[in-house]
Amino acid sequence: MRITRIGGPTVLIEWMGWRILTDPTFDAPGRTYSFGLGTSSRKTAGPAIQLDEVGDVDIVLLSHHQHADNLDDAGRAGLSRASTVVTTVAGAKALGHPHARGLESGAKTLMIDSGRPTITVVATPCRHGPPLTRPIVGPATGFALTLEGADRPGLWVTGDTVLYGGLRRAAAGLEPDVAIVNIGAVKFPLTGPLAYTMDAAAAVELIELAAPGIVVPAHVEGWSHFTEQEEAAAAVFAGAPAAVRERIRWLPLGDPVDVM
């Protein structure tokens, strides 16, 4: 599996002949985006690789469509270069992509193509904020991808989520080969200490539960509302138990890395 970290939540995964892109964000930096109810964020860094350099992809795994730090204008336009988009039910309805598949948590869909192994994609739980905020922030989803014939996922993408009971239960014993874990501790001045994504300390607990072979942190830089960015998160991971610390792989931005 080859992974290229592009920036924010955007990662290109090349795996067994499949090209998979997560949460496309390709706008230039400097713009401030509204996130609703008086909240906003400024994009502070552009993508390490431009959309044209990425080219066509087979699958976009879109955790949710309603926030620009997971799908900005250039990313939305670039969905036309994806053969299939897998996202939430609400996202599939909103996007207008001819091959968008919307999944409720726990539902699955098959990626089938002659000459490549079939991939089963299962939607994993996400809660993109404190309890009872879903009507405000909207739905989100993660993704567990398992190759045909395998007994556990080869890839898990957490999506944007806080750590809560439903995620703990889904993660326990999951044991994916590779986990892309979205962190960043998203917060807004208007809502004070309330967090909308995990911080690194929560990610440590999640990693202990899921026991992935390799962990690639993402969604940790490039936006002003990410309150715990890479340096701070790396310090937390450095102090984590060895069973977690030794799994973490900080990938350089823009460079493809063979992780397994």
Q: Give 101 or 37, the one with higher predicted confidence.
A: 101
Query: Which has the closest alpha carbon to 165: 199, 202, 193, 137?
Result: 202
Of 260, 252, 178, 222, which is closest to residue 4 (Cα–Cα)? 252
Distance, first Cα to last Cα, the chain: 5
The reported pLDDT for the residue numbered 37 is 84
| 171-177 mean pLDDT | 97
Distance CA 194, CA 188 (A): 8
27-86 pLDDT tens trace:
999 999 999 888 999 999 999 999 999 999 999 999 999 999 999 999 999 999 999 999
Three-state DSSP string of 54-75? HCCEEEEECCCCCCCCCCCHHH
Domain 2-249 has CATH 3.60.15.10: yes
Neighbours of 224 (CB within 10 A): 14
176-230 per-position pLDDT tens digit? 999 999 999 999 999 999 999 999 999 999 999 999 999 999 999 999 999 999 9
Check residue 36 and give its pLDDT.
Answer: 86
Residue 100, strand partner residues? 85
Torsion angles phi and psi, residue 239, rounded to 5: -95, 5
Of 243, 197, 239, 238, the residue nearest 219 (C-alpha): 197
**Segments making up each domain of the chain, as ranges:** 2-249
Put simply, whether the predicted model's pTM sits higher than 0.95 gets the answer yes
pLDDT tens across 106-139, in order? 999 999 998 999 999 999 999 999 998 898 899 9
Reduced to 3 states (helix: H, G, I; strand: E, B; else coil), residue 215 is strand
Asked if pLDDT for residue 21 goes beyond 90, the answer is yes
